[in-house]
Structure formats: C-alpha cells, structure tokens
Amino acid sequence: MDLMGMMGKLKETQQKIEDTKKRLDTVLIDEQSADGLLKVTVTANRKIKSISVDDSLLEDKEQLEDYLIVTLNKAIERATSVNEKELDAVARMDMPSIPGMDNLFK
C-alpha cells in the first residue's frame, strides 16, 4: 500500500469535498405548502434563503406556525438528500475502500 500516495489522494478528496460544500451553497431547493400559500427556499447546505407567506396566513398564528414547520422540514429533507448524495459521490470517487472510513467525510 502506497501510504504517501494515499495521503495525497486523501488531501485531494478533502479539497474536492470543501469545493462541493461551497458549490452546494448555490444549489437552491424550493418547497411550498400544498396550497402554495407558503414558499421557502433553502440551499443544499440547509441554510434558509427566503420565506414567502401569503397574507391570508397572517390572520392565524397557529396555522402559520404549522405551515412553517411542515414546509421547512420538507425543504430541509430534500436539501439533506441532495447534500448527502453530492458529498458521498465526491468521497467515493477517488478513495479506495478502507474499512471503517466510510463515515469520515460526513
């Protein structure tokens, strides 16, 4: 096993992961409530970018809170899925299979 070569690959893969994380800040996930009254946008790194609330939701605090919880959770779920797929692909691209190291980049 070429340890120096492997360390070089590891450093290269870590850089690719960092680059991918930066790129995921620009990948936007749009989600909305079933009736379209609430819309949210998050990045693939799960940062909220915008929330749009229809005026009709402003009259009922509990309903608005429910809408926010459901819609944000759906958006975060989708963003997490995109994030994990992208980072897993980068981590697996160059790295040899080493037992116990499959969670190193998460």
Question: What is the mean pLDDT of the segment spanning 60-75?
Answer: 97
Which one is predicted more confidently, 102 or 7?
7
| List of domains in the chain | 15-94 (3.30.1310.10)
For the cut 90, the answer to whether the pLDDT of residue 52 exceeds it is yes
Amino acid residing at 106: K
Q: Write down the pTM of the prediction.
A: 0.75
Q: Quote the pLDDT of residue 15.
A: 87
* CA gap 51, 31 in Å, rounded: 10
2-34 pLDDT, tens per residue?
777 777 777 888 888 899 999 999 999 999 999
Q: Phi first, then psi: give them for residue 30, nearest 5 degrees.
A: -100, 135
pLDDT tens figures, 72-98? 999 999 999 999 999 888 877 765 555
